[in-house]
Chains A and B, each alone.
Chain A
Amino acid sequence: MNRRTMGKAVLGLAGAAIALSVGMGAGIGSALAQDKLKVGFVYVGPVSDHGYSYQHDQGRLAVEKELGDKVTTTFVENVPEGADAERVVEQLAASGHKLIFTTSFGFMNPTLKVAKRYPDVKFEHATGYKRAENVATYSGRFYEGRTVVGAIAGKMTKSNIIGYIGSYPIPEVVGGINAFTIALREQNPKAEVRVVWVNSWYDPGKEAEAAKALIDQGADVIVQHTDSPAPIQTAQERGLWSVGQSSDMTRFGPKSHLTAIIEDWNGYYVQRVKAVMDGSWKPIDTWGGINTGMVELAPYNPAIPADVVKMADQLKADIVSGKRHSFQGPVKDQAGKVVIPEGKTATDEQILKMDWYVEGVQGKVPK
């Protein structure tokens, strides 16, 4: 997941603050107790984004709450992906942090470089694919959430046109569109999905414009894979449905917000910190779905009919039990060719490399 920082320009200022906060964290930590585990977190955005970085920070707070005075945590926010990230991770490692979470895709190589120099420090990199002796990776199967949302949208749409706002055409987002569309058309074979790419993770103005354009073209449910609540506001203003991203966005459109796909790292972070404490930590790859609690749905809008809620809950339960897979054959591409045959499900590799649309999505994946 290639999260872009919102405050790139603030970084000059932030640089000083980073050095200060890390330095202070180190000072306080070592002064208080020797046997406390120091855990560091590196965020790509500000913790105040009420979205991606905010959710990671909630995980950090959960660690503090669960393990109390056995840990000290430090976080560094607004870290750009690239050379600066390496410096930040290095500073954390050098100042006695024994477990460091680097929470954005672009931190992958910096994390691995620093990990080589600090073999006794454990690293956890979110959404990446490169591991090492002391580097584990983790991510969420967010497409599972999109399956549930797609089914709900299929029941709620009247115009049979769904507007989908995409950030960048990377496999994660394309896979999300496909998972959504498959479930949508199971409920409503006549429904179609129109995609508009805004080429940004966070640009409220552009996201609102995209929502308006899709609504003007007849969409009555707006789904987004971008981080700002602007599309929700637009849908609310026009009296139509919307689905939030990253965190519960109900307050931006109480009448419009059907639900949201929430990233919840709390359980994972607590578990991994405990693993380091009792020595059972291994450099594994974790890709957790709804069953692990990493992917959750925000409370449903009370306006959703009871039978639709029941259907969604059943679908969720089936995904958790493994009875249902988001990409369950037969899945056809836009040309009608069967890509995933009957009785099969997509492999993880197929999902991680998805660069084609399923039947029911309009337009082509930008190359």
Chain B
Amino acid sequence: MNDFALIGPILAAMFAAATPLLFAALGELVVEKSGVLNLGVEGMMLVGAVCGFAVTIQTGSAVTGFLVAALAGAATASLFAVLTLFLLANQVATGLALTLFGVGLSALIGQGFVGIPLEGLPKLYIPGLTDLPVVGQALFGQDIMVYLAVAAVPLVHLFLYRTRAGLVLRAVGENHTAAHALGYKVLRIRFLAVLFGGAMAGLGGAFLSMDYTPMWAENMTSGRGWIALALVVFATWKPVRAMLGAWLFGGVTILQLHVQGLGIDVPSQLLSMLPYLATVLVLVLISRDVARIRLNAPACLGKLFHPDA
């Protein structure tokens, strides 16, 4: 096969690989914009993955499965919200605990669901368009969740930057004391943002267990939650950049597998490392530009807020 002909399949695989990252990163982006740092993305993804899978097996309905996955992610996130927002627990420690908790809880729930196969979602097929060379499969041959993830990007952007609610959310993230003084319910807004983040992480996880590799296995997210977290910083808290970052990450992942298959002599360990290396590199680069960080990073990120203080 002509190596040039591989570009199409690589692009198609890249968009799919980016989808779980994109869901989780968009959710976390909104959470962080409200001034909360939730490191429990991996845990919420796993709980979403197992619940979505279990419900789909029981009901046979993928729509119900994804809805339950979102709810389960949000429910897991609500634990974090209660602990950090109302009981003022440390956000970093609680987030890490949430990941550990999610790994354990999902393994427990999933005990009876290991080794059961599931049909994935059908792929879009538009005669003519899907058959287009190079871009056909990538743009018109994906399943609905891939498109939904991309569609969520402008929606989140519009919400954050073009609606009053988004403005308030950002204000809370920038200066919770001032927002509180103006009469905004800081804790309620943050609570809702954390729930949204959980729901999106749940969807990202469910994409893995119900569609990408339709099965349940313990710890099947394999660190994608952490990558999503890194993507938020990578994107300097901008939704469109988060999408580009997810694509870049997905693309490097897929590309390194192709490079190996073609027998190009590069150490596979190095190639496996590449996506992470790219993340670190970008983090270093943007960290040098303090002005940009300050412009976009929520000033109250990770800071506890008490209405009486």
Q: What is the interface of chain A, defined by CB distance below 8 A to chain B?
A: 6-10, 12-13, 46, 48-50, 163, 169, 194-200, 202-210, 212-214, 216-219, 228-230, 233-234, 237, 251-253, 362-364, 366-367
Contact = CB atoms under 8 A, between A and B. Distances in A.
Contacts of A10: 100, 103-104, 107, 218-219
In order of increasing CB-CB distance, the 6 nearest A-B pairs are A363-B263, A216-B9, A362-B263, A213-B257, A197-B268, A50-B115
Size band of the B side of the interface? Answer: 35 or more
Interface stretch (B150-158, B206-214, B292-300): B206-214
Contacts of B264: 363
Contacts, number: 144
Contacts of B114: 46, 48-50
Nearest to A367: B267
Contacts of A200: 222
B208 A205 contact: yes
Contact of A13 (B20, B104, B111, B115): B104
Nearest to B250: A209
B218 A196 contact: no
Given A212-B13, A217-B6, 17 more contacts: A7-B218, A8-B219, A10-B104, A46-B218, A194-B261, A197-B272, A204-B217, A205-B224, A208-B212, A209-B257, A212-B9, A213-B257, A217-B258, A230-B213, A253-B117, A362-B261, A363-B262
B254 A7 contact: no
Contact of B217 (A6, A163, A237, A364): A6
A214 B213 contact: no
27 contacts: A7-B103, A7-B218, A10-B107, A10-B218, A12-B100, A13-B104, A46-B114, A46-B218, A49-B114, A49-B217, A50-B115, A196-B260, A197-B272, A204-B215, A204-B220, A209-B253, A209-B254, A212-B13, A214-B257, A216-B9, A217-B6, A229-B117, A230-B215, A233-B215, A252-B215, A362-B263, A363-B263
Nearest to A163: B261
B51 to A, nearest CB: 17
B36 interface: no
A79 to B, nearest CB: 14
B212 A216 contact: no
Given A199-B268, A212-B9, A233 B117 contact: yes
A49 B218 contact: yes
A234 B117 CA distance: 12
B265 A363 contact: yes
A12 B100 CA distance: 8
Contacts of B104: 7, 9-10, 13
A199 B221 CA distance: 15
Nearest to A200: B222
B229 to A, nearest CB: 15
B269 interface: yes
Nearest to B101: A13
Contact of A7 (B107, B208, B267): B107
Contacts of B263: 194, 362-364
B219 A6 contact: yes
Contacts of A197: 260, 268-269, 272
Q: Which one of A199, A216, A251 has the highest number of Cβ atoms from chain B below 10 Å of its Cβ?
A: A216
